[in-house]
Amino acid sequence: MRTNLGSSVETVVNRFLSHLPADHANRLRLRLRRLSRPARLGSLRRTSPISDDFGYDRGSPIDRYYIEQFLADRRKDIHGRVLEVKDRTYTNRFGVGVTQRDVIDINPQNPHATIIANLAAANDVPDGTFDCFILTQTLQFIYDTYAAVAHAHRILKSPGTLLVTVPAVSAIVNDSELTDYWRFTPASCSEIFGGVFGHAAVRVRAYGNVLTSIAFLAGLACEELTRDELETHDDRFSLIVSVCAVK
């Protein structure tokens, strides 16, 4: 009964619109469509984020949920001599059979760093040194991305694994020590890493969907979304992209 009524209303509306100029009819048709499917933005109807700290002040950032899921899935690759950026957090948390934990940073004041270097110009780091390199949420701050990936490849042993995450969607980081240059897509990651490691040695995966991306930009925490919402993935609206590249 409701279907028949809806069909009848649509027929009447279309008949009415057919008598109007095309551009006017189209604007009216779109307005009716919006009214029939209202978007209730609620607390998101604002021009500033709910949290200006990526959701840390509300819980766990949504991008970290996906980063940690990726590393947990690749736990077996985090072994031997492992290199990580800035600190050893993920090496300690996800490593299995780690024999040495190294930290690379451009900042000489970092007490955790065992290697001080710009990854895009890391000529002093010896070839074939590491079994695994955890490179999360870093490449967006390196202007010469190709040079950084080439050095990452060079300093890995053979075989060795590079585990990377990069943002597809994120607020621009406002930090006097960092310049936020890039956002990435699955296609750009496939080309960048495939060009260095060989396409057959690279696995690229996108995480997130339109809801998680909107929520992350607004500063919501992952605890404010359901598991089903977090576990729905749509490459068109990726929040982060992960890369597993094997030398």
Are 154 and 202 members of one domain?
yes
User: What is the block-wise mean pLDDT of the chain (247 residues), using blocks of 10 residues?
Assistant: 57 72 73 66 86 92 98 98 98 97 96 97 96 98 98 98 98 89 98 98 98 96 96 97 98
Judge whether 171 lies within some domain: yes
Are 195 and 113 members of one domain?
yes
Are 31 and 80 members of one domain?
no
Are 186 and 83 members of one domain?
yes
pTM: 0.86
Phi/psi for 69 (5° steps) reads -65, -45
Are 12 and 129 members of one domain?
no
Strands annotated E in 47-96:
80-85
Are 111 and 23 members of one domain?
no
Are 139 and 22 members of one domain?
no
Q: Is 87 left (phi over 0), alpha (psi -120 to 50) or beta?
A: beta
Determine the pLDDT at residue 1.
43
> From CA 69, how far away is CA 214, in angstroms rounded?
20
**186-197 and 145-155 helices, crossing angle to 10°:** 50
Domains in the chain: how many in total?
Answer: 2
The residue behind tokens 């949420």 is 137
Question: Domain span at residue 26?
Answer: 2-38
Are 173 and 234 members of one domain?
yes
Provide the pairing of β-strand 130-136 with 240-246: unpaired
Judge whether 19 lies within some domain: yes
Are 24 and 80 members of one domain?
no
Judge whether 48 lies within some domain: no
